[in-house]
Structure 1
């Protein structure tokens, strides 16, 4: 749990293969999440582990819609279903987190990192097999929380900075696309969440680019999480021979 003098607190715990982030209060959230995606307010963010290929069940029936499935997970965990929910095949024991602060601002990042599904932006999507399966999933889920009150354009810019930082680390570590091509920029199933203070409850920022302090903090914590996450993913892959 992170407690701050400005009154914000982020509590995190893992239960039933799910990382639960309790922001302590409702915050403005912009995300690409399958549940609660887009821009909204929410108090809880979930990152739930699913099988590595959840497209089909053992019965080959169509898999449940992710938003409905994540709602059931939230209810089962006793969490407000009006939440933001992500899915990943990465085990929750590989969750990494990093925090940095400066000038009255703080930023936290929580991440799960898998790159067996890595891709270079612009490559053709993989084809679905006859049984409905695709390549083994390897999602990078990034959840960023800050005490700053970001204007909507700044929230969008924050997502841009998260992506730039992620891609920079992947390039620094020479992560290849699943096709074998060099220079992966992410994975085919990545998701990002940025949560910030509501108006009047945090330091106001109209900008969040890489020339700003908030942008710099976001870039640093994301890069640290990606670096740690890649190391854990490599170790896990070597252990499990996948």
Structure 2
């Protein structure tokens, strides 16, 4: 992961027990599609946990339960507050990518894990028989975007929108196909995105975060760079493990 000047950013991260722990430094406002803590909430910690591809049991040897309950227990084992936001992926944490963009006191950081074995094109009919468990593999793109800006509710939704546009653009640029073989994948069937911003009074106020704004531009850049690098690492990992 890229280095970050600690005197300028409050965010720190580490990997332990196959889990990326992003410590926001203090509670922030978070909007996400995460299986643990999804929706709108405040939290200090965001987790991205690696699980085995299509496993019959979890890392503790127990039968699988609801992801939210499992991630709550995992948080306790890691010494993290139970009201964290938690993600799951089959991508190894050795493939975590992070990128940072700073402009005039405003910063945006992205953490990503990228897998595309589960890639789909939005609008394709789902296959409940094959789906993301096809060939015993699971792939997903998890994005965690953090900014020191304090965002209005529409702007926080805008972060998710711009991040998704940037991700899809990279997949199209790299001609990633759907798992069905159709061209033009737009994401995967299990993607998740987390957007975190400062609480009111703790950062510069922004009413908008669309692509016509500096903030939106920064979001697009860090997500684009993370997903592109993540695709390269995923291809390298696949090539290595096929030998």
Give, in angstroms, the shift of residue 5 of structure 1. Answer: 5.5
How far 1:237 sits from its partner (Å)? Answer: 1.0
Q: Deviations over 1:12-52 (max 9, x none)?
A: 00000000000000000000000000000000000000011
Partner deviation per Cα, 1:42-92 (whole Å, 9 max, x = no partner): 0000000001114x439xx96210000000110000111110000000000
The correspondence of residues 72-83 of structure 1 with structure 2, limited to 5 A, is 72-83=73-84
CA distance in 2, matches of 1:72, 1:199: 31
1:29 aligns to 2:30 (yes or no): yes
Q: Is the 8 A contact 1:153 1:207 kept in 2?
A: yes
CA contact (8 A) 1:127 1:134 kept: no
The residue aligned with 1:169 is 170
The RMSD of aligned alpha carbons is: 1.9
TM-score (norm 1): 0.93
Distance 1:94 1:4 in 2: 23
1:29–1:41 contact (8 Å) kept in structure 2: yes
Match of 1:205 in 2: 206
**CA distance, structure 2, for counterparts of residue 234 and residue 13 of structure 1:** 24
For 1:216-239, what per-residue CA distance to the aligned partner results, in whole angstroms no more than 9, with x for missing partners? 000000000001000000011111
CA distance in 2, matches of 1:151, 1:4: 26
Matched, 1:91 2:92: yes
Separation in 2, partners of 1:217, 1:4? 20
Match of 1:12 in 2: 13
Q: What SS does the corresponding residue of 1:98 show, helix, strand or coil?
A: strand
**Deviation of residue 2 (structure 1)?**
3.7
Paired with 1:156 and 1:241, the residues of 2 have a C-alpha distance of 40
State the 1:125 CA deviation: 1.3
Question: Is 1:134 paired with 2:130?
Answer: no
* More divergent stretch after superposition (228-237 vs 61-70): 61-70
Question: Which residue of structure 1 aligns with residue 225 of structure 2?
Answer: 224
Shift of 1:240: 1.7
How many residues were matched structurally?
236
Q: 1:161, 1:237 → 2: CA distance?
A: 29
- Write the deviation string for residues 138-176 of structure 1: whole angstroms up to 9, x where unpaired: 010000000000111100011000000000000000000
Unaligned runs of 5+ in 2: none
* Alignment map for 1:35-184 (pairs within 5 Å): 35-54=36-55, 56-57=56-57, 63-128=64-129, 134-135=133-134, 136-184=137-185
SS of the residue corresponding to residue 24 of structure 1 reads strand
- 1:215 maps to 2:185: no
TM-score by length of 2: 0.93
Runs of 4+ residues deviating >6 angstroms? none
The answer as to whether partners of 1:3 and 1:9 remain within 8 angstroms in 2 is: no
Show structure 1 runs of 5+ residues with no match. Answer: none
Contact 1:2 1:9 in 2 (8 A): no
C-alpha separation in 2, matches of 1:210 and 1:172: 18
